[in-house]
Structure 1
């Protein structure tokens, strides 16, 4: 069944349709948010908040034209709300990340190449990083990314292109540093 059909079912009172959406999207949504927030506990809260908003909209009878970009838009906006909170800014200190590295990489595959790529991606600005995550990790099309981030299609193309160019520079720079360390 299509996601939009599940939303129609939810709107007509079938709560099990919502369970199907949660089952289908919990893991990919968690992965996307983890890459942005780096805090498993906070990610779980944002995932729950995202699904709560989806449920509430479905119960009100709202059925998005395209569910997947709409869902990621809700999740991205929940992240933005999280970052705006003053208490969050105090909690998300860099030193805390290095005191408990298992918290950062719990879900991320422990292969060295993947860690290296994730660290490199995290050096990009949030705009570029978000566009790249949505495209390459969540497999959204450019049009879906534009809907998700509420930006023009050409801006999506620009962010992905510039983000990839910056990422390439970062990877080459890191590779050079690593080679010098082994000499």
Structure 2
């Protein structure tokens, strides 16, 4: 069966990849490459490491394509692989200096306000990096990726109630670490 790669849903593309269709794989990479890098960067705070993890994610997807069964959305399948790779990488990673965090563009016109925002951003990033890997993953998936508790649960391999507890613990830790939250 011929697949129109530009119009096909992700799940159909992945099944085509499982049958050896590399054009379908290239389309999935095109659709998810930016999301993979951004998500990995949020976890790892290192552009080169994020690129490596994103590439490893696509390699794992390609290697597992023949075994893929669409029991959930491809997006959830993709996030699950990516998040686990990020967690593994973060466990091996050495702490990054707070000076290595890229500067965010100023959203205010006041230099003093810009400095305060920069300091708050650094404080939040440091507190987020200090969270246990599953709590950090849940926070990033919920607040940066906008996923639901059910989607996060499928990605992390836990129940939605466990996601709720992870997020609650993460928020408590962040509030204790960051004075203005």
Normalised by the length of structure 1, the TM-score is 0.74
The size of the alignment, in residue pairs, is: 161
Aligned to 1:63: 69
TM-score with structure 2 setting the length: 0.75
CA–CA distance in structure 2, aligned partners of residues 127 and 81 of structure 1? 11
Match of 1:19 in 2: 26
Does residue 130 of the first structure (1) align with residue 125 of the second (2)?
Answer: no
Which whole-Å CA distance do the structure 2 matches of 1:4 and 1:144 have between them? 16
Asked whether the equivalents of residues 134 and 156 of structure 2 are also in contact (C-alpha less than 8 Å), the reply is no
What does residue 105 of structure 1 align with? 101
Asked which structure has the greater RCO (Cα within 8 Å, sep 6+), the reply is 1
Equivalents in 1 of 2:90, 2:136: separation in Å? 15
Q: Which structure dedicates a bigger proportion of its chain to helix? A: 1
> Any stretches of 5+ residues in structure 1 without a counterpart?
177-183
CA distance in 1 between counterparts of 2:9 and 2:177 reads: 39
Mapped contact 1:128–1:163 kept (Cα < 8 A): yes
CA RMSD of superposed structures (Å) = 2.5
In the alignment, is residue 48 of structure 1 matched against residue 44 of structure 2? no
Worse overlay, 23-32 or 72-81: 72-81
Q: Which runs of 4+ in 1 moved over 6 A?
A: none
Which ranges in structure 2 are unaligned for 5 or more consecutive residues? 1-7, 107-117
Q: Within 1, Cα distance between the matches of 2:140 and 2:69?
A: 25
